[in-house]
Amino acid sequence: MTPIDCLIIGSGPAGYTAAIYASRANLSPVLYEGQQPGGQLTITTEVENFPGYPDGITGPKLMEDLRKQAMRFGADIRTGYVSDVDFSTRPFKLTIDNSTEIFANSVIIATGASAKYLGIDSEEKYRGLGVSACATCDGFFYRERTVAVVGGGDTACEEALYLSSIAKKVYLIVRKDHLRASKVMQQRVAENEKISILFNTNTESLFGEEFVEGAHLVEFKGTPEERRFDLPIDGFFLAIGHKPNTDVFAKYIELDDAGYIKQKGITTETNIPGVFAAGDVADPYYRQAISAAGMGCRAAIDVERFLSAARSNAKSI
């Protein structure tokens, strides 16, 4: 079987942008869309901060546009997910849907990261209807409204502080009796008059006719002091972390302590020459569609240079 020159794994902003650039570089990329074609933006309602859409656009439509653009330049977009990889030799061997084996001279990993949720049924019911895992993405829609953030670490404090500049009131729901965030973040939250911290509090469910209107909370759960109450809110933000989708690559690719792919210097290259990473799978800091798209561009350029250098040196890849 003739190896694919450029195989892209994942179909969010990073994957589709990589496909656009790789196609225009005549690399004939093949992209496997994965188990959630279009990535996390397919479950996002309005996107107002992606350049080029002055009136905003829905997440699914944005992904549809990026997909069409990649196909326009000849990207081969396929249904399926990568279930196994062998990066020990080149060409690399990958297994699709636990059955089909393919080979590739270079690989761009753009599998993203999945937000962690509490696991309550109403999270799914109101996802995109008041439930969000990205304050910088969706905070704008809650201007002068009341919101809650769940979490006690630096991310949760950062989200609460960001939302306090937009919302009328922010509640920080913390299941423990303390914050895990750094001292400076704790101080900033404590000094912010718009933020109220609810310690020792768990969220049992959300309620509302069409959109989130409030949360059913329980304080000191399982103790004699247990108290249940309802908190009227318009938005519910999860800030309990993300899990990068890297399990299938862990045997070969160097990851950080949280499971994100490590990159070499300013490039998108991993510890395996010929394997590159783009988007949220390698970015625990920004997690924005536009930054993921930018990394997809960089990864495609890195692939083109890698393949060109290998061929000019007359090396077998």
* 3-state SS, residue 122: helix
* pLDDT for res 23: 97
Q: Please state, for a pLDDT cut of 70, what percent of the chain lies above it.
A: 98
In degrees and rounded to multiples of 5, residue 100 shows phi and psi of -85, 130
What is the tens place of the pLDDT at every residue in 7-34?
A: 999 999 999 999 999 999 999 999 999 8
Annotated active-site residue in 84, 86, 97, 138? 138
Whether the Cβ atoms of residue 192 and residue 164 lie closer than 8 Å to each other: yes
Tokens standing for 135? Answer: 């304050």
Helices (H), the chain: 13-24, 59-72, 121-125, 135-138, 154-164, 183-190, 289-312
Query: pLDDT for 42-54, tens place per residue?
Result: 766 678 889 999 9
Positive or negative CA dihedral for 238, 281, 139, 155? positive
- Is residue 186 predicted with pLDDT exceeding 60? yes
137 catalytic? Reply is yes
Helix ranges (DSSP H) in 38-134: 59-72, 121-125
pLDDT at 135 over 70: yes
Catalytic residue among 5, 6, 134, 280: 134
From the candidates 137, 157, 234, 302, which is the catalytic residue?
137
Indicate if 297 belongs to the active site: no
The answer to pTM > 0.75 is yes
The pLDDT of residue 43 is 64
